């Protein structure tokens, strides 16, 4: 299973969202420098390391933006430990305005 599919499945299970979109943005980071195995390396933009999550779920009602991010990150802890490098989170409760 791809990392993207794993992220989608874990977030669906954790939050039962009304809307969920997971976008692989790894290609947008080609040429950026990052630390890999203790050395600075230039990222080639391949693979599944940078994602954007757009999620609307009742679970986020009454939560601050920071708490929503923490909840999503906690649900994906294993993926971060396995090499997920960056995650942009756009989380909302039902009825809240989104830009997407």
- Domain hosting residue 8, numbered range: 3-92
Q: Each residue of 32-45: pLDDT tens digit?
A: 445 555 554 444 44
* Prediction pTM value: 0.81
pLDDT > 90 fraction of the chain, expressed in percent and rounded: 66
Q: Each residue of 83-100: pLDDT tens digit?
A: 888 899 999 999 999 989
Q: Give the orientation angle of helix 65-75 with respect to helix 3-15, to 10 degrees.
A: 120
CA angle 44, 100, 52 (to 5 degrees): 30
Specify if 98 maps to a domain.
Answer: no
DSSP 68: H
Specify if 99 maps to a domain.
Answer: no
DSSP 26: G
Count: domains in the chain = 1
Q: Each residue of 11-30: pLDDT tens digit?
A: 999 999 999 999 998 866 44
């Amino acid at each position: 299973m791809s990392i993207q599919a794993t992220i989608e499945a874990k977030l669906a299970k954790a939050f039962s969202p009304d809307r969920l979109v997971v976008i692989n943005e790894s290609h947008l980071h080609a040429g950026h420098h990052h630390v890999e195995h203790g050395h600075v390396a230039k990222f080639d933009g391949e693979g599944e390391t940078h994602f954007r999550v757009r999620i609307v779920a009742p679970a986020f009602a009454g939560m601050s933006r920071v708490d929503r991010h923490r909840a999503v990150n906690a649900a994906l802890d294993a993926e971060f430990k396995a090499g997920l490098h960056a995650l942009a989170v756009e989380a909302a409760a039902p009825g809240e305005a989104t830009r997407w």
